Structure formats: C-alpha cells, structure tokens
Amino acid sequence: MKFLTPCLHLKSMCDNGAISGYASVFNVADGYGDVVLKGAFANSISDFKAGKRPKLLWQHDVNSPVGLIEDIREDSYGLFIKCHLLLEIPKAKEIYYLLKNKAIDGFSIGYRVRDSYFSKNNQCLTDIDLLEISIVTFPACPSAVVRDVKSQLDILQKIKEISNKIRRKING
C-alpha cells in the first residue's frame, strides 16, 4: 500500500463530528512526486457506491479507525469527501478538538496503484484503489490546510440570520 498526502482543504466541520473537504487534489505533485489525475478515483467511487467503503483512520494506523466516510466524489479540483467522526471514540473526539482548534489540518490517502505512467520525475496516477483516508499531522503537501471549521453555533447563527431576512421580507 502507498500513501499520498495531497494538498487538501478541509471545508467544514460541525460539533456532531461531520467534516468535509478534499482528500486529494488533482495535478499537484506531492512530496513523493506522485500526481493524481482527474478520473483516477472513478473505480473507487463505483466500489464505494456498491458498498466497499474506504476506512477513515488516524495517521494511517489500521488499528485506529475514527469514523465513517459517508460520501466521496470527484470534481474539477479533486476528491471531495464527507465524513463523520465517531465522537464516542476517545481518539475521534480528540481529533475533532485538534481540527477545530487548527492544531492539525491534513488528510492523506492510502491506496494501491491500479494504473499509472511516468512523466519526467513524477508518477501520474490514473487509476487508484482507495483503501483509506487518514487525518494526519504532517501532510506531504505544505499547502494542505483547513479552510473553515464550523461549529453548531455557527450554523444556528446562520439560521437566525436567514430567519430574520425572511421575517423582514414578510413584514415588508
């Protein structure tokens, strides 16, 4: 199994343990010279829809599953994922607080190469068997950062703002 820690941006996180973001970014060489190309996850996404889900781990440790991957899809930027940390697990709760407080901010994928080719100094990955996605301390890509952390209070505030806008429209 190989590991790839691409430039990842965690988009959101809620107090219930829900997180979402990019587990892989296309066309960016990681610290090991691997480049994931658009379409590389197509077979893994089909496997996911058929019930074969990659694991959500802490630091690539197969003995430390910390949650569930609920959705994966490719877009023009990379592999977007929605996950749920199982906060009843002490390690998952710890990871949640580390992410929320920006003490950690990276993801990394564990995979087997199904198909690739070499271009210059890089291995271009065209078909990946995605085995796991890990939350990591030190991603191979230095620009792998958390973009936004949302708490339940942020969500309630947004609902209140929308509610007030609707009320103002109704009342004229």
Position 149 pLDDT exceeds 60? no
Q: Which helix (H) or strand (E) holds 71?
A: strand 61-74
Higher pLDDT, 82 or 168: 82
d(CA 49, CA 72): 9
Find the domain containing 137 and state its range: 2-171
Query: No. of H helices and E strands in the chain?
Result: 3, 10
Q: Assign 154 a pLDDT band (cuts: 50, 70, 90).
A: low
User: Cβ(134)–Cβ(59) under 8 Å?
Assistant: yes
Query: What total of structural domains would you count in the chain?
Result: 1
Which residues have a Cβ under 8 Å from the Cβ of 90 and sit 6 or more positions away? Answer: none
Position 167 pLDDT exceeds 80? no
In tens, the pLDDT along 93-134 reads 999 999 888 898 888 899 999 999 999 889 999 999 999 999
CA atoms within 13 A on the CB side of 22: 23
The stretch 136-164 carries a mean pLDDT of 58
Three-state SS at 86: coil
Q: Phi and psi (nearest 5°) for 33?
A: 85, 10
pLDDT score at 20: 84
User: Cβ(60)–Cβ(169) under 8 Å?
Assistant: no
Position 24 pLDDT exceeds 80? yes
Which of 21-30, 43-52, 75-84, 102-111 tops mean pLDDT? Answer: 43-52
Q: Write down the pTM of the prediction.
A: 0.78
User: Cβ(20)–Cβ(107) under 8 Å?
Assistant: no
Give the position of tokens 């580390």. 98
Residue type, 10: L
Q: Assign 16 a pLDDT band (cuts: 50, 70, 90).
A: confident
Q: Assign 145 a pLDDT band (cuts: 50, 70, 90).
A: very low
pLDDT score at 106: 86
Ranges 33-42, 73-82, 107-116, 160-169: which has the least confidence: 160-169
Integer CA distances (angstroms), 112 to 13, 79, 115, 132, in order: 28, 16, 9, 10
Q: CATH code at 23?
A: 3.20.16
What is the length of the chain? 172
